[in-house]
Amino acid sequence: MTTTTLAADHDPMGAAILDHTKGICQGPLTVHSSMFDDDEMPIDHLFRSLSEMPRLEQEALSRARGRVLDIGAGAGCHTLALQERGLEVKAIDISPLSCEAMRLRGVSDVECTNLFSPLLEGTYDTILLLMNGTGLAGKVSGMPRLLDRLKQLLTPGGQILIDSSDLRYLFDDDDLPSKADGEPYYGEVDYQMTYAGVEGAPFDWLYLDYPLLEAICQANGLKCECIMRGDHYDYLAKVSL
Residues that bind ligand SAH (CB under 6 A): 13, 46, 71-74, 77, 92-95, 98, 114-116, 130-131, 136
CB of 72 to ligand SAH, least distance (A): 2
Cβ distance to ligand SAH smaller for residue 176 or 201: 201
CB of 91 to ligand SAH, least distance (A): 9
**φ/ψ of residue 236, rounded to 5:** -115, 130
CB of 117 to ligand SAH, least distance (A): 8
Contacts 24+ apart (CB under 8 A), 152-157: 152/123, 153/69, 153/120, 153/122, 153/123, 153/124, 153/127, 154/123, 154/124, 154/127, 154/240, 154/241, 155/66, 155/67, 155/123, 155/124, 155/125, 156/241, 157/125, 157/240, 157/241
Cβ distance to ligand SAH smaller for residue 145 or 177: 145
CB of 180 to ligand SAH, least distance (A): 31
Whether residue 131 contacts residue 202, with contact meaning beta carbons closer than 8 Å, is answered with: no
Cβ distance to ligand SAH smaller for residue 77 or 82: 77
Closest residue by Cα to residue 203 from 192, 195, 187: 192
Cβ distance to ligand SAH smaller for residue 36 or 203: 203
Calpha distance 27→38 (Å, rounded): 15
Residue-wise DSSP of 141-170: GGHHHHHHHHHHTEEEEEEEEEEEE-GGGG
Cβ distance to ligand SAH smaller for residue 13 or 167: 13
Whether residue 46 contacts residue 77, with contact meaning beta carbons closer than 8 Å, is answered with: yes
CB of 177 to ligand SAH, least distance (A): 25
CB of 221 to ligand SAH, least distance (A): 22
Closest residue by Cα to residue 186 from 165, 203, 214, 201: 165
Cβ distance to ligand SAH smaller for residue 75 or 213: 75
